[in-house]
Structures are given as C-alpha cells and as structure tokens.
Amino acid sequence: MAQSTVTLYGLVDAGYNHVSGLKNGSFNGIASGIMEGSRWGLRGNEDLGGGYKAIFTLESRFEVDTGSVTNRPNSGTQLPDRVSNSVAASLTGLAIPAALKAGLITGTNTNIATNAFGVNLAGNLFDRQAFAGLITPFGAFTLGRQYTPAYLINGAFDASQTQSSLAAGQIASLPAAFDIRLSNTVQYGIKTGGITAALMYGAGEVLGNSSAGRFFGGMVMYAGDGFALGYGHNEKKNELGQKSLHNDVFGANVTIGPGTLYGQYATIKDENPSGLATIGAGVSASAIAAGLPAALAPAVGAAYQSAYNAAFRQDARLMHIGYKVTSGVHTVVVAYNRLDDKRAVNADTDSYGATYTYALSKRTNLNAVLTRYNNKGAGQIAPGGNGFLGGVTAAAGVDSTNIAFGIRHTF
C-alpha cells in the first residue's frame, strides 16, 4: 500500500538591523530575514513503489516585523543615480522643453521603482516555491515555480550560502544579477556518484510570441572527498523575445584546516533588460497629457525607451572568496566579494565582513552580522538581508555599514 506524508515546516528569522549611508540617514529598526527569509511551507510525498515517488512543495514568505508577505528596501523607491544620469545624457539631443524632459524622467523612475523595487510586490501566496513532481529511478521531474540552476550554484559556493548582507549576490541585487526563482518551469534533476545535475526550461507563456520570456538553464556539481566543483548557466529572453539576462557561474570549495574555503566567479550580461517594454508607450501618453503635440509623442517615447534600456543593461563580473568554520555551537564566516562593472558607468562595489552564529539548540540560534560595502565610481548598493533588498545609498560612491543581531528558529 502506498505511503504518503505531508509536513508543515518553516523558519522565523528577525532581529535588529542597522544600515548607514542612506539618503535620510542611518536605518535602525527591526528586520525580518536577516540571515534567511522567514517562511512556512507544506512538503509532501507519496511512495508509489518501485523507486517512484510523487512529491510537492508549497512555500510562502512572511515578514516577522509587519506580518506582510511583501517588503521594500530601506531606500524606498529611490533609483541609483546612474539611471537618471544615463537617461538624461542619452536624451541630450531630444528637442522638448527641459522641464518636460526632467518631469518625464522623474515620473518614469517612480513607476519603475514602485512596480519593481521590492520582494513579492504582487503578494503571491506561494512566492518562494510551488512545484509538484515525480521522483523516478532515473531522475526527478518537477514543474512549477522553482529555483534556477545558476542561482543554486551561486548559493552552494558562497561561504554564507546566500545568508545575510555578506552573501555575494547582495552586491549585485539592483538591478538583479540573477533570476533566483522562476514560474512556469519544468526541471529534470539527477544525483549519482557525487554528481548533482539539472536542466530547466521555462515557458514565457506569452500569446503570439513563443520565445518571449523563455528561459533555459542547467547546472552540474561534483562533490568529492573534501572538495566540490560546480558550474551553472541561466539564459532568459525578455517580454519581446530578445536575449536578456544570462549568467555563467563557476564555483569550488575545499576543506582546509578546521573549515571550508569557498570561491566563486560569475558573469552577468543583459543587453535587453526585462520589464521595460512599456516605457515608451507610457512616456508618450504622459507627454501628450503634459501638452506635447500628439504627432511628436511617438518619437519622444521611442527615445525614452532606448535610453532606459541602455541605463539598465548589465555587463559585470561577480567574485567571491570566503571561509566557514564550525566548532561545536559556534559558526563563523568571513568573506570578501567584488562586483566589477565592465560598462562605462563603472558601478563597482566591494563588500567584506563576518557573521557569527551561536546554536542554542538544533533548531534555534543567535546571529551577528558585520558587513562593509565600499561603492566605487557609480556604485551605490546598500546592504540588505537574505529576505529583503538593501536598495541604494544616498548617492553614487557613498559607502555603507551593516550591523545586525538576530534570532532564527526552524520548525
């Protein structure tokens, strides 16, 4: 007779969070998701016999400090200075009144930030994960909302395992350097002889354009005696079917002394950013409402569309080196991360610091975080946490320090 189980599980993470260098001064307050995003979920499986098992996972986020399922960065809807500067430079030759030009930039910036800068702004119940699948003797097949292959490699070869502001991905979070999770995906995964591998396809589900929003990804990882190696690749098309964000992530770790040394190198490339395709139409409508002759509006909208596409393009390298050691109830992680922007704007950011975890029990621990962000050139990233974005500092080149103390309980 088939045996089935359903498990309720979760994690609650919250504490005091200090972030300096913001536009309105330092933030001091309670934050949810300092080390890991707070969540609850249902996980089920049914043993079908013969090596076959049906599985599902439904996982929802929540904010301990507010009870909400969404959050925004401490900097609110503020965009990096380089966006406005880049757009304004691109529009230098556009023959419309200066006040109208500036007003259209401000309005567009506000719309972008309002609709995109935050976590789960749509308020979806199972935003973190929602998938069902079948485990077979020759691999697992799953479909739904899942973590992407390149992001899994990013997390596996980060000494912090994406936890806290010290995680490598935090300095490449705005705009996002990785697609962390995607909906409408189908994945095949296998584990055998120290090898873990997966292939993923994501359907854009855009009527009339089968390539729009389409995603491909894959990863492979080998775990040996005291070491591991991994590679992950993501590639996505935007809502128009153009090649958009794609990543190659290389990682390794090795046991050295009492702990483990981690290293990672990732490429970030995006020539046609997703989510911007309606800017031109929106600007055209706003320009007409502001008194611009309708005959001129399409050209103005097209100019703004091109300018914002250029402003949000990405071409960068992300590097990480870290060391993690656990001794009894104590765990310490130290790490250094660097985002090297290859574009002319040169928005570079380095981060370094340490985290300390003291285990009160198998399920409950206390945590401390100290991370410094050094922004160079047009770099402007502020520290966030695993469960929330940090946003941006007061201005380009302004640095930031994060100090956090929290408690984390799993169930």
Length in residues, the chain:
411
> Encoding tokens for residue 64?
């301990």
Nearest to 254 by CA among 352, 342, 157: 157
Distance, CA of 167 to CA of 264 (rounded, Å): 11
Give the HSE-up count for residue 337: Cα atoms under 13 Å, Cβ half-sphere: 32
Nearest to 392 by CA among 122, 78, 178: 78
Distance, CA of 373 to CA of 173 (rounded, Å): 13
| Segments of the chain with pLDDT less than 70 | 1
Ordered DSSP codes for 142-169: EEEEEE-HHHHHHHHTSTTTT-STTSGG
* Residue labelled with tokens 């408690």: 407
Contact 159, 335 (CB under 8 A): yes
Distance, CA of 410 to CA of 117 (rounded, Å): 28
Residue 355: enclosing H or E segment and its boundaries? strand 347-359
- pLDDT score at 249: 98
Distance, CA of 167 to CA of 328 (rounded, Å): 23
Q: What is residue 385's DSSP assignment?
A: B
- pLDDT score at 1: 58
Nearest to 300 by CA among 131, 100, 160: 100
- pLDDT score at 90: 95
Burial class (CB in 10 A: 0-12, 13-18, 19+), 397: middle
Q: H-type helices in 290-338, by residue range?
A: 297-311
pTM for the model: 0.94
> Encoding tokens for residue 239?
């809502």
- pLDDT score at 210: 86
- pLDDT score at 116: 87
